[in-house]
Structure 1
Amino acid sequence: MRICVLLQGMLIFGMILQSNAQSSVISFLLHRIDSWQVRSDGFYYEGMFTSFRYYAAFPHRPKQDNNIFFTAITCYTLRQVRAELPDSLQPVADSILLRAQHAYAFYQKPQHPLTYNFWPVDPPEVFPNSFLLKPFRYINALSDDADDASMIWLAMHPPDSVMKAYHAYLTEYANTMHHQIRNTYKKYKHLPFYNTWFGEKMPVDVDFCVLCNVLTLLYSYHISFNRYDSASMKWLEDMLQERKYILDAAYISPHYARPPVLIYHAARLWHIAHPEWMKPYIKQLQMDAIRCLQHTNCAMDSIILYTSLMRLGTKPEVMMQIDANRVEEIEQQSCAIFFEAGFYAMLRNPFKRWFTPLSFIKYYFSSPAYVDALLLEYIMTYKFSGN
């Protein structure tokens, strides 16, 4: 009896120690994210997070890049975990989210109040800190895009009226509305899915992760779906059914390009909405996530795959342990790439297919604050998943 009591006491003591260690890492990560946030306007605007751009052909020479994308996705991730943070840490998360709202306006044109740009719009930027491309910023400025707009709205959580207006605006630029897509599989050229770009001069572009983000936003607001939503779901469902997120990831998602990142976006959409059309592919996504885990040496990829598996409803046999001493190492890994920009994404077929594998026309993007947010998300998902 005494031995049983002793073992039980040791077990409880061990659980307390583990819980305290976990809480310490959560606090460490949140305060580290807070430390990355810019406090005054300059190259970055107040409230933004630093991020870096790497030319794929020479990835060891990063340049700072003042895109708004990583600020948006970092804040959305924080908003998702905020309610589960300890009471003492919730004000820290709230202050981060509040400061970020100052920066968003610099990426929005007054004449387009429903959308946002990847880079600042006044004056327009194209590949900031690039001496060769700077003279072309006015003639080559990007259109606003559905990915940045959707993620900023998710980060800000505006009223329903804004979302209804944004939903209507999305349909105005769907495939076939102004132009027909020329760089996806031929059988989808007439399908009116949502376009990545809000611009009549931009070619139509479809991206697996962008559509996941758009639908995550619309599902979050319980929007009444139309034919453009249904078309977007149809395209995504076919990509899942045919496992294109594994077999042809860079082609169906030129702005994200890697299977672990595509699986992460699909799992997040499932976690938010549990749409019926995704149900037949959940087991398949689980198995593919496990296969990716078995073949990666990248800590960030492992983290998002573990998070994806938990969101897909499975318990990984082995989990990655995170402590404060490992965080900086994970942030600095060269593989911690979540997003990329490739000129090939704009090309029509067959040129897009030919140029997709080439590194000299693509850039990688990363942000240490977002890596920290992914680590925090992973720990919080594990803590509250019942695993």
Structure 2
Amino acid sequence: MLCRIISEIETALRSHGDQWATRFTPFWHYRRQENNIFSLASALFILRELEPRLSPEHQHKAAEIARLITREYPRFQNKDGRMTYNFYPTRPSRHFPNGYIMQHLDHFRLPDDIDDTALITFTRQASPKEVQALKDLTEGFAEDLPSGKRVYSTWYGKNMPKEQDVCALLNLLYLFFAFELPLTRTDRDTISFLAEKAGEALSRPFEIARHYATPALILYHYSRFMSRFASPLDHTKPLILASLYKALEQEKVFMNRLLMESALLKLGEKRPPLDLSRVTFNGFHTFIGAPFAPFAHPLLKKWSEKSAYQIFWRSDIHHKALLAEYLVLSSLNS
């Protein structure tokens, strides 16, 4: 099955052209095909991490997938050549493609962000010098919180309100830890912030991770980082495990369950295999947008938390990479 999934990812990359993802809002029956880079970079991130565990045949296919994905990256780099990246193409700028309204309004033009930047920098296999330079740049956009902590912010833009999304922060730290960069005060404060928020994955997912906002995605990101690196976040492992088991008791969406099973396997838990005879991506998404969230008005902020006013993103390429990851992890667990 793993061979088939990896082949399907390669085929999809060749056949989808410039429309490899979908954004949608079920409440308004809104659906548009598009080409955000997050979907591809996230899929490649997973395959890069799986590569040492793949057979030579699968490694060859993964290398071709990497070539197809990384060739898209330059179109999403900062328009002025800075080493940051955007969710949407920047050369030329094309935010919310195929839409009727948002693509024509500058208000909805997204600044570059730490999430896409970290995933792309990691998967394009940047040099240590480049990653250190990026880290120095990112430190300049960190925010001093009322608690006294200095924590990285999601956005590189000057006019975008500061925010902290724990999943984006975990992806950023994953990059810095992978390159073994010296920890700064901002790194330590960010890790402390993540430790404080770890217990809120089930009760306040939107507040701690606006762009992921489901317990499954949040706990998966914590587990992904913690299973790879020793850090001051390690003491939260019992809490993450307890949250995963509790969330699994109620979760109905197949892919959310798969994500949490992968998270448990990453953390060393022994798990019975999932029934993969009826894999479905229904009800699943990997990214959320809340267009009203940046507004200061209390009513608009309240609307931003309601699913009717949120935009969801999905991509079968990304979903299949997550499925491939589970297949590899579960094979090691047997």
- Provide the aligned length of Structure 1 versus Structure 2: 334
Partner of 2:11: 35
Q: In the alignment, is residue 292 of structure 1 matched against residue 292 of structure 2? A: no
- Superposition map of 1:127-166 within 5 A: 127-136=96-105, 138=106, 140-166=108-134
Tell me if the contact between 1:251 and 1:356 (Cα under 8 Å) persists in the aligned partners: no
User: Based on CA coordinates, which of the two structures has the bigger radius of gyration?
Assistant: 1
Task: Supply the distance in 2 between the matched residues of 1:143 and 1:101 (Cα, whole angstroms).
Answer: 21
Partner of 1:314: 269
- Superposition map of 1:263-302 within 5 A: 263-275=219-231, 277-302=232-257
The AA in structure 2 aligned to 1:103 is E
Partner of 2:160: 202
- Superposition map of 1:178-189 within 5 A: 187-188=146-147
TM-score, normalised to structure 2, is 0.94
Q: In the alignment, is residue 373 of structure 1 matched against residue 321 of structure 2? A: yes
Among candidates 41, 56, 70, match of residue 101 of structure 1 = 70
Partner of 1:257: 213
Tell me if the contact between 2:76 and 2:90 (Cα under 8 Å) persists in the aligned partners: yes
Offset, 1:351 = 5.5
The AA in structure 2 aligned to 1:92 is K
Tell me if the contact between 1:76 and 1:154 (Cα under 8 Å) persists in the aligned partners: yes
- Superposition map of 1:161-180 within 5 A: 161-176=129-144
Tell me if the contact between 2:177 and 2:229 (Cα under 8 Å) persists in the aligned partners: yes
Offset, 1:252 = 1.0
Offset, 1:236 = 0.4
State the Cα deviation string for residues 19-69 of structure 1 (Å, max 9, x = none).
xxxxxx0101100111110369x644xxxxx111012423x5421121000
Tell me if the contact between 1:251 and 1:353 (Cα under 8 Å) persists in the aligned partners: no
Among candidates 300, 306, 311, match of residue 358 of structure 1 = 306
Task: Supply the distance in 2 between the matched residues of 1:379 and 1:123 (Cα, whole angstroms).
Answer: 38
Structure 2 counterpart SS, 1:37: helix
Task: Supply the distance in 2 between the matched residues of 1:43 and 1:31 (Cα, whole angstroms).
Answer: 19
The AA in structure 1 aligned to 2:238 is K
Offset, 1:134 = 2.6
Q: In the alignment, is residue 244 of structure 1 matched against residue 200 of structure 2? A: yes
Structure 2 counterpart SS, 1:54: strand
Task: Supply the distance in 2 between the matched residues of 1:89 and 1:376 (Cα, whole angstroms).
Answer: 11
Partner of 1:10: none
Uncovered stretches (5+) of structure 1, i.e. residues with no partner: 1-24, 45-49, 182-186
Task: Supply the distance in 2 between the matched residues of 1:139 and 1:299 (Cα, whole angstroms).
Answer: 36
Distance 1:357 1:139, change over 3 A: closer
Structure 1 counterpart SS, 2:32: strand
Distance 1:222 1:350, change over 3 A: farther
Task: Supply the distance in 2 between the matched residues of 1:123 and 1:88 (Cα, whole angstroms).
Answer: 37
Tell me if the contact between 1:53 and 1:65 (Cα under 8 Å) persists in the aligned partners: yes
Task: Let me know the Cα RMSD of the aligned residues.
Answer: 1.9
Tell me if the contact between 2:139 and 2:186 (Cα under 8 Å) persists in the aligned partners: yes
Partner of 1:126: 95
Task: Supply the distance in 2 between the matched residues of 1:56 and 1:168 (Cα, whole angstroms).
Answer: 40
Uncovered stretches (5+) of structure 2, i.e. residues with no partner: none
Partner of 2:175: 217
Tell me if the contact between 1:250 and 1:356 (Cα under 8 Å) persists in the aligned partners: no
Structure 1 counterpart SS, 2:151: coil
State the Cα deviation string for residues 327-362 of structure 1 (Å, max 9, x = none).
4xx13x1x1111100024324485576234323321
Among candidates 279, 283, 303, match of residue 258 of structure 2 = 303
The AA in structure 1 aligned to 2:56 is D
Structure 1 counterpart SS, 2:143: coil
Offset, 1:141 = 1.7
Offset, 1:288 = 1.2
Structure 1 counterpart SS, 2:158: coil
Structure 2 counterpart SS, 1:72: helix
State the Cα deviation string for residues 141-188 of structure 1 (Å, max 9, x = none).
211110100011122121111100011011111114xxxx6xxxxx44
Structure 2 counterpart SS, 1:63: strand
Partner of 2:57: 88
Offset, 1:77 = 0.6
Tell me if the contact between 1:53 and 1:364 (Cα under 8 Å) persists in the aligned partners: yes
Distance 1:293 1:143, change over 3 A: same
Tell me if the contact between 2:217 and 2:286 (Cα under 8 Å) persists in the aligned partners: yes
Query: What's the % identity of the aligned pairs?
Result: 23
TM-score, normalised to structure 1, is 0.82
Comparing 74-83 with 341-350, greater Cα deviation is found at 341-350
Distance 1:237 1:123, change over 3 A: same
Task: Supply the distance in 1 between the matched residues of 2:191 and 2:104 (Cα, whole angstroms).
Answer: 40
Structure 2 counterpart SS, 1:246: coil
Comparing 113-122 with 338-347, greater Cα deviation is found at 338-347
Distance 1:151 1:278, change over 3 A: same
Among candidates 47, 52, 72, match of residue 22 of structure 2 = 52
Tell me if the contact between 2:290 and 2:305 (Cα under 8 Å) persists in the aligned partners: no
Distance 1:349 1:290, change over 3 A: farther
Distance 1:116 1:346, change over 3 A: same
Offset, 1:322 = 2.1
